[in-house]
Structure 1
């Protein structure tokens, strides 16, 4: 799939049915109804929003990086990308994007990965996996740690190296940039507003993201 030209949408903030500023390091889970549109805004720039999606009617059918990448033949996400579940079901379509490229491969930070990537004294540091687990625990017994899958990192810059590896680099987003997506079905959205202080994905300074929802 060739990269689609960035698209800016004209939805007005004052018409949103939901508006919430998610603090740096916090988690969030919410159910989108078919046709509803979610906008994630990088309020100060260089933040990373680790995100997963679930079929609300079949929670075990979660977002699949493999199915999504294979379907669009591109490892990055932008306007026009269809985010698919493991079954192949279409969960979300990205309908507007002022950044142009979002990561599908870098995964979420965890206590364990912080020690492997950085140092053993980082074990105690807050991380996205814990945020995910806390939110899943709050939303009923249908979700367990088995429902955690490789996630999307909106706004995060993780280019592939010529050798096929990954490189965590400075973000390419900026203050007020956003990605906007429309639900294709009843979809649960799980976000960890990344608390990462160890790499430049958030400029070593995690900041809030803004979450807005429109009915269409």
Structure 2
């Protein structure tokens, strides 16, 4: 589908999608319903051994959440993408994505019985997209779970709890590609979401042309580590 701001694609709840982004272009994700989730993997398009490193991204920028104007860093210390804006100041990157066992509470499901309503975990959906690009299980990494917030449960174990209602329809986040990227994401429910019924919300993706980060971009001044990651990506693009 077309959009005045670029190419638009609606991903239903409980589905997956992948796309390539040229350096400088933007990807805007919009929640199409309450408690939407987009569990995302990121890879450098030209060298897919380089991929998002969530622990380094959080540690280097002294954060337990993803928010603007943070930089999403690769395992080589280079910027893959920058978070240029968001309706929310909290996106989860520490609790992972759903696996098949997380769907047990919804009852059995398979394609033969449920057809397009087949309930699948984020991991299963992500793997299908990875296989289409010649990748597989060894290429899975920790995801950023856009639109999700978790908070400490206050117990001695340090339990984290899902915050329902954190996202409503129309919430959004925008990324700028700092390298040519392969982006893969799934819209299955978050593993900590206690919802009793299967009704995952969809996500709208809008891709638009853009330009690399300008000299005065907020991501450069956010942290010294953010600036270094952007500079490293720019050196590799020359």
Same fold (TM over 0.5): yes
Work out the CA distance in 2 between the residues paired with 1:122 and 1:87. 41
Q: Does 1:15 align with 2:9?
A: no
**In the alignment, which residue of structure 2 is the partner of 1:3?**
none
Equivalent residue for 1:105, pick from 82, 94, 99: 94
**Local SS of the residue matching 1:69:** helix
TM-fit CA distance, 1:196: 5.6
TM-fit CA distance, 1:165: 2.4
Per-residue deviation, residues 130-170 of structure 1 (Å, max 9, x unmatched): 0011001111x2x1211101101000122133443211230
User: TM-score if structure 1 supplies the norm length?
Assistant: 0.83
Equivalent residue for 2:151, pick from 151, 155, 159: 159
**In the alignment, which residue of structure 1 is the partner of 2:16?**
27
- Identify unmatched segments of 5+ residues in structure 2: 111-118, 211-238
Per-residue deviation, residues 76-96 of structure 1 (Å, max 9, x unmatched): 011101001111111010001
Q: Does 1:175 align with 2:169?
A: yes
What's the C-alpha RMSD, in Å, of the aligned pairs?
A: 2.4
Work out the CA distance in 2 between the residues paired with 1:19 and 1:35. 17
Aligned pairs for 1:95-134 within 5 A: 95-114=84-103, 125-134=119-128
**Structure ID, larger Rg:** 2
**In the alignment, which residue of structure 1 is the partner of 2:50?**
61
Work out the CA distance in 2 between the residues paired with 1:75 and 1:211. 25
Work out the CA distance in 1 between the residues paired with 2:37 and 2:50. 24
Work out the CA distance in 2 between the residues paired with 1:185 and 1:203. 39
**Local SS of the residue matching 2:123:** helix
**Local SS of the residue matching 1:100:** coil
Number of aligned residue pairs: give it: 198
Work out the CA distance in 2 between the residues paired with 1:171 and 1:150. 23
Work out the CA distance in 2 between the residues paired with 1:45 and 1:150. 23
User: TM-score if structure 2 supplies the norm length?
Assistant: 0.76
**Local SS of the residue matching 2:161:** coil
**In the alignment, which residue of structure 2 is the partner of 1:5?**
none
Aligned pairs for 1:145-156 within 5 A: 145-156=137-148
- Identify unmatched segments of 5+ residues in structure 1: 1-12
TM-fit CA distance, 1:209: 0.8
Work out the CA distance in 2 between the residues paired with 1:60 and 1:146. 10
Work out the CA distance in 2 between the residues paired with 1:145 and 1:58. 17
Distance change in 2, residues 1:75/1:122 (3 Å): farther
CA contact (8 A) 2:97 2:143 kept: yes
